[in-house]
Every structure is written in C-alpha cells, then in structure tokens.
Structure 1
Amino acid sequence: MFCHHLLSNAELKPGLVARLDLGSTEEDREREILTFYKKTGIDWASPFSVILTGDAAIGDDVKQHFLSIVMEKIQFGFNLDFENTGRTLLFNGTGDHKVPSTSKALIDGDLFRVAGRAIGHSFIHGGPRLTGLSPAMLQLIVGSNQEFAALELADCPDTDVLDVLDSQREQERCEVNNLAFGWDLPPINDNNRRWLAEKILQHAVIERRRAQMKQLRKGLKESVVLTMIKERPALAEVLFPKSAEQVMDSQTILKRIIWPMPDSEDEDDHSNVEETCLVTGFLRDYIEKGTTTTPEVLDRLEYTFMLKYLQKLLCQSLQPASQR
C-alpha cells in the first residue's frame, strides 16, 4: 500500500532512466550503477525504465533484471576492488547477523548512502530486498536507542574480538585489557567481567558502525522508505527480510566465489595450472549440475565455507603426487 501510494503520486513526474552497457566489463557496469545511485535530488518513486545497451529488450522484465543486479552487488559485494581485498563487501556476517563493513574507503565514498537509495528504490519498484540484516542494525535504523540494541556474538564479524570475548584463560587477560584500553574502557576484573564483555561487543558492533548507519539512514530517507518503517517499525522486517526468504540458485553461488588465480611464481608450471583448472571446473560443474544441489542445499553453501573448501582442494591438488 505504501509503495502503491508513492508510485501513484509520482505517475506524472519526469521519468528516471538507468543505462547499462552489456558490452562493457563487469567493473564498468558497476561504476554505471554507482554513478546512477549517486545522483542527488531524485524522486526514486518516479516512473522508472532501463536501457540495456547491446540488448533490444525493454519493459518490466528489464527493469527487474537491473534491480536484481543492483541488489546482488549490495548483498554479495562488488568486483570493484577499493582496498585490494579481491572483492568489495558492503556487509559482513552470516545468516541473519549481517552488519555494515568497517572499510574506511566505503565510508569516504559515501557508499552506504548509495546503498540506502538503492535498497529503497528496489523496494518501491518491486525488486529484490537486502536480506539477513542484524536485528540490532534494524533497531538503529528505526531509531531505537543504541544502548538497548539487542546484540549477539554472531553480530560481530571480527574474529579477533570474538576470540578475546570467548577467552577464559587467566593469561589472556592482557589481550582483553589491550582491547579495552584501545576503546577507552577500564581493565577487566572479577566484578566487571560481564559488563566489560557487553561494552566491548557494543563498541565492536555499534560504535564502529555509527557513520555507516548514518549514511544508510540518509539513503533510506532520500528514497522515502525510512518514513514507512519509522511510522510502522514492524515493517522493517518487510524491507529487510530474513535470509530464509533469499532465493538461492547455482548462478548466485557461483558469483559469490572469489576464484583463485595462478601465482606469478608458478606461471611456468603448467601442471599446477592444469590441476587448478580441473579442481575449479569440477566445483563449478557440481554447483551447476550436481543432483544434490537443491535450493535447500544451495542455501546452506555459505560463501566462507565454499572458499575454505575450495582452498583446501587446491592445496591438495597442487601438492606433489608423492605427498597426496
């Protein structure tokens, strides 16, 4: 009803046109998407159409295809490499505990504001939605007091912090104290152990993401959908559904994997390249055609598991035969 009201009121407004060159590289297409959503002063409920250069198709199917590409990038990451990490992820975490990345490059580029506009725009026009956002982040979006945001250990994607919080050994108190001192918190003692753990978790998840959430809220506000969830907080879970509602298929899984490249030192070792291709080819074929890759199975193939499994296979395949 909210989206229908917005679209009806904007029917007579100038149309908004997005262009995507199918003949360009993946990185160039991502730049076109980011440039489109960096536009300011736009009514994102305006009549929307998409022109795919190199493709004669038009209409709602093309529009939905474009929005699917956009939301896939926001959900799983961009190929554009801002910090030499292979892929730029806007959100980290697994399941229903995804939180914004702490990358300074993304903050400086105002990319979470861009993400907020894209999320709102896709929602208004019936496109895919961002799934799996942490409940704590949802509370911040609707304006709940961050002191009372319901945090869980799973909301913290920083393994170093989790290792410290899980530490029970006395000799590791110094690691807890180092982390506490770095965030202007008191040292640990027998009376404040639980309180300090909660404060460290709050800082690791909430405090380090203030700027990101501020940008995201601005983007959602500019697309008007923030109004909806502020007036009806329960609708936050409609805008940001659980990960169980995410449609997973073989192509989605394949796009999430960062495939290994031959090391420059091994360029002359053709046997290594051949075996690498064999392993990656087998994995691709299994994901695309394997009889066990039902939607339920694919849904459980998390990106981190797939990458670790692939690395293990590659390490085994690149060993001399005598060591296998």
Structure 2
Amino acid sequence: MQECPVCTKMFPTDFIEVHASSCVERAGKEVMHESIVIEEEQAAMPGPSGTCATATDGWLTISDPTKAISQCADSFLRIHETKSPLLLSMDIRKSPAEQDMALISFYKRTNVEWGRPLNCKLEGSSNYKLQWSKNKVFPLSLFCQTVHCVTGDCAIGQGVTRFFFSKCMEKLKSGFCINFANSNVTRLFEGEPGHLVPSASHFLVESDMFMVAGRMVGHSFLHGGPCLLGLSPAVVHVLLGGSPETATVTLQDCPDLDIRETIDLLDGGSILSDKDKQRVQDLAHAWDLPCLTEKNRRWLFEKLLIHAVIGRVTRQIKQLRRGLKETPMWTLVTQRPDTVALLFPKEGAGNFSPEVLLQRLTWPHEDSDDDDDCSVDTKCRISGYLRQFIANATPTELTELVKFWTGWEIIPPSLSVEVVEGRYPTASTCFETLRIPGHYKDYTSFKCDILACIDSCHTGFGLV
C-alpha cells in the first residue's frame, strides 16, 4: 500500500500511478470551480462604501464626469439585471398623505439591493376627475399624460417610472403631506433655495427619514433620474466627509430667521445695545458657548453660525450619508470628486434655455402617417404656436413642460411633436412625444391649454 500525494489516501502500489493521474485531474477541476465561485462571490460582496463591487471600474478613468456618472450607474444595474424586480406602487385615487406614505414605505425597507430592476405602477389612473382652477371639471382624457401600457386602471411604463423619481425629488424639497410633528406638511430640508439644510427635528431622525432621503437620491441616480437641487454647499461638504470647521457657511444657510438675525448682530464692528447683547448671550448659553467679549466677537460669530447650520443637524447628515452608502452613488462621489457638482447641483442648475429645447425637437413631417388627417397649414400653425410658447416661457414653465412631456424634468436627446385630432394636448411620456390637437386658431387659447397641461403633471397621469 502507498499513500496518494494528492488526496493522502492509501492505495495498492501497482494502482497508485493510475489513481494519482485521475486524482490530479479531478483536483484541478475542483480548484478551478472554487476559484470561479470565489470571484463571483467577491463581485457581489458589499464594498467598503456599502455598495456592491463592480466587475469593471472603467468609469474611474473616464475624463468626462457626465459619462463617468452614466457608466457607473449602468455597470451597477447590469450586475443586478437578472434579479427579481422591485415593485413601487401608488394609488392616485387616495389622499396625498396616503400617496406619500407609499413612497416612504418603499424606501424604508432594509437590506434592499437598489440596483435590481424597478417596476412602477400607478393604480387608479383612469376614469378619474378633479376640479381645475377655472371651476370646471374635466374627464380623464383632458390635459393628461399617457403611458406606454395601461392595464385596467393601472398605468405602467418608463413614463411612470420617471414620474415616481421626479415626485421623490420634489417631495424632498417641498415636503411630505404627512403630519409628523403637528404640521400638515413635513419638510426634510429647510431654508432658502440654494441653501437647503436638513431639518433639525429629532423626530425625523428617530423615524429614519433621512435614511429614506439618501436612498431616494441614490436610487434616482441609478436610473438616471433628477438630482436633489439646492443643498447648501456647507452641507454637501460635511456630507462627503469634510470637517464642519472647514466648511464655507454663510448666513443664508441658517434656516431659522430669528437665529440668523441674532448671529448677524455679531457681524461687523457696530456697538451692540444691552438688548442685543442679551440676545446673543442667551443663544450662546443655549449652545454651551462662552460669553460675548470684545476679543471673541468674531470667533463667537463663526461658532454660532457653524452650530446653527451644521452642529444641530449632525445626526441628520450622518443618516443621509448612510442612505447614500447603500447605493453606488457614494462610491462615485468619493472616488470621483469632479462629479459632486453634477450630482448635487446648485439651485437653477437644471434649468435649460429655450434654444436648447428647440434644438432637440423633432417637428411634425409633412408626409407623416401619424397625423395625416391634419393639413400642412395646420401643422405649421400649431408648430409655430409651440415654438412661440417655448421661446417666451419662463424657466419654471419650460421645466414643467418637459416634465409633462417626458415624466421628469430632464431633457432627453430628442423630443417629438405630433399634430393630431382631439380636444386637448396629451403626452406619451414613454415615447417622449407631445400630441397637440390641430383645432387651435389663435395663440391665446393654445397657451391657456398648454399652461393647464403642464400644471397637471404634479398630480399624476390623468389628473387635471
């Protein structure tokens, strides 16, 4: 008997050579299989930022930050494309509070792979009516957005998915219609446009609402959706790991006007009255800061301002960071600092000019079969009305028009216009097509109906 050098088992001497040959071949196959399994497991393991590692990190070396953002999201989605999809559903027949709770409940779930495919569904999107501002009631077919697929009273498709992400970003800025703290609207971010900071409410932190916000922002990034506009640069600096002491904080970043006025008393060298000194003294004592003296006036001004903007919301920022770390957006902004300005844009950065919108329009063709019931003169007249509206529209009106047209406020590479038979304009958001009836004979009536259309995009598909 002799021991096999591979498996260490005992075999007859005259059989050991035959066994060892087959044993080596079998062992080699097992090692190769284990190596493949380990590589696949490592690719799916959470990375240091809480996101899954990608097989290729080509976005790290792409010079264009916009392309790097797109490739990072696409590579992460490809890793999870074979997994079961997530389902986000909302019933638009219910109250605004119930609709907002549907969004919050979806993003409150833990241990979710946000890169999985996403299916969105709007229930109750047909046979519904709402009162319009001119005291008229219109049925579903008026001023409505349409989607790629409508089954029963459920709307699905890419347009619905865009609508959900747009609604999430809008709610983060304007507030959720939920009574969290004796208020009909609960705002997660407060302050002036371009200087938004997290709410100082401890109840929102205990409810993990800023975790929800981080997941919403990261999930929207994954699917190429809109960003959270207008965050204070100081908040973004601390969110990405910067020190509060090195953040550029301004008085406009302070959302509480009373506190802002008190801190502003210290700015400059004017002599303070006894009443003003007492106001500053009370605020300093409340935040465990020393008394005001002639020597520490500037120092106290900076300390009060940093605490008013950053110090009171440290837990909120940490929770927002934790939500972002569940998506690859955190890996991107930490490894590619040049993408931060694009992923956390300033207020108004998403606006676009009429010239940009007009350049991307595909106007109705004279020989098009889709709208061959309309004459060439009709197509030219309606196209002229739309061109005039776009050229004279405000930035807000242009943004709302694109949102009605496509489902969110991101302008695509191409937009289509069709002149059709009908009463009111509609939009096929999945196909990024605006369908305008050809019966308008004057610009005034055309503009009135277009403004009514774009005003309805906040309430959902089929609502006026």
Shorter chain as denominator, the TM-score bin is 0.7 to 0.9
Instruction: Determine whether 1:31 maps to 2:90.
Output: no
For 2:208 and 2:238, how far apart are their aligned partners in 1? 18
**CA spacing shift, 1:177–1:298, aligned 2, 3 Å:** farther
With over 3 angstroms needed to count, the CA separation of the structure-2 counterparts of 1:159 and 1:65, relative to structure 1, is same
Report what 1:196 is aligned to. Answer: 300
**Following the alignment from structure 1 to structure 2, what is the Cα–Cα distance between the partners of residues 26 and 205?**
31
The one-letter code matched in structure 2 to 1:119 is: V
Deviation at 1:48, TM superposition (A): 0.7
8 A Cα contact 1:229 1:236, kept in partner: yes
Query: Structure 1 residues 78 and 247, CA, compared in 2 at 3 Å: closer, same or farther?
Result: farther
Cα deviation 1:238-273 (Å, max 9, x = unaligned):
21111113459xxxxxxxxxxxxxxxxxxxxxxxxx
Structure 2 Cα separation of the partners of residues 26 and 45 of structure 1: 28
Shift of 1:121: 0.3
TM norm structure 1? 0.75
Q: Determine which of 125, 138, 150 is the counterpart of 2:248.
A: 150
Determine whether 1:173 maps to 2:243.
no
Amino acid at match of 1:17: L
Secondary structure class of the residue paired with 2:120: strand
Structure 2 match to 1:256? none
Deviations 1:78-100 (A, max 9, x none): 11121223311111111221100
Unaligned 5+ runs, structure 2: 1-70, 126-149, 353-391, 399-464
Match for 1:44: what amino acid? W
Letter in 1 for 2:75: H
Counterpart of 1:219 in structure 2 is 323
Q: Which digits, 9 at most, give the CA deviation of each residue in 1:43-74, with x for residues without a partner?
A: 11111111211232322111101111111111
Letter in 1 for 2:156: I
TM-aligned CA distance change 1:196 to 1:38, over 3 Å: same
Alignment partner, residue 51 of structure 1 = 121
Deviation at 1:234, TM superposition (A): 2.6
CA deviation map 1:163-216 (0-9, x unaligned): 112225232111111111111111111111001000000111111010100110
Indicate if the aligned counterparts of 2:87 and 2:119 stay in contact, CA closer than 8 A: yes
Give the Cα separation in 2 of the matches to 1:54 and 1:77. 24
Q: Offset at 1:3?
A: 0.8
Measured in 1, the distance between the counterparts of 2:214 and 2:88 equals 17
SS in 1 for 2:229: coil
The structure with the largest alpha-carbon Rg is: 2
Q: Does 1:129 align with 2:227?
A: yes
Between the two proteins, what is the percent identity of the paired residues?
40
Q: CA deviation at 1:112?
A: 0.4
Structure 1 position 95 matched with structure 2 position 189: no
Contact 2:176 2:187 in 1 (8 A): yes
Partner-residue secondary structure (3-state), 2:215? helix
Q: Deviations over 1:96-145 (max 9, x none)?
A: 21100111221111100001001110111121111000111111121112
> 2:20 matched to which residue of 1?
none
Aligned counterpart in structure 1 of residue 394 of structure 2, from 287, 291, 295:
295
Task: State the alpha-carbon separation in 2 of the partners of residues 215 and 193 from structure 1.
Answer: 33
Please state whether the residue corresponding to 2:89 is helix, strand or coil.
Answer: strand
Change (3 A) 1:16 1:297: closer
Q: Tell me the equivalent position of 2:286.
A: 182
- Tell me which amino acid in the other structure corresponds to 2:91: D
Shift of 1:147: 1.6
Q: Which runs of 5+ in 1 are unaligned?
A: 249-292, 300-324
Which residue of 84, 92, 116 maps to 1:14?
84
Q: Is the 8 A contact 1:142 1:233 kept in 2?
A: no
User: What is the aligned residue count?
Assistant: 258
Query: Secondary structure of 1:244's match?
Result: coil
Alignment of 1:52-67 (within 5 A): 52-55=122-125, 56=150, 57-67=155-165
Aligned CA RMSD, in angstroms, stands at 2.2
**Distance (Å, rounded) in 2 between the aligned partners of 1:237 and 1:135:** 10
Change in Cα spacing, 1:164 to 1:233, as seen in structure 2 (3 Å) is: same
Confirm or deny: 8 A CA contact 1:142 1:236 kept in the other structure.
Answer: no
**Any idea what SS the aligned residue of 2:348 has?**
helix
Q: Distance in 1 between matches of 2:350 and 2:318?
A: 26
Structure-to-structure mapping, 1:159-308, within 5 angstroms:
159-167=257-265, 168=270, 169-171=272-274, 172-246=276-350, 294-296=393-395
Q: Is the 8 A contact 1:98 1:155 kept in 2?
A: yes
Please list every run of at least 4 consecutive aligned residues from structure 1 whose deviation after the TM superposition is greater than 4 angstroms.
Answer: none
Deviations 1:7-41 (A, max 9, x none): 11111122111111122111111111100000111
Q: Specify the code of the residue in structure 1 equivalent to 2:294.
A: D
Aligned counterparts of 1:114 and 1:202: Cα–Cα separation in 2: 25
**2:369 is matched with which residue?**
none
Query: Shift in Å at residue 218 of structure 1?
Result: 0.4
Separation in 2 of the partners of 1:298 and 1:94?
21
Corresponding residue SS for 2:121: strand
**Partner amino acid for 1:295?**
T
**Does the C-alpha gap of structure 1 residues 93 and 226 become closer, same or farther in structure 2, counting only changes over 3 Å?**
same
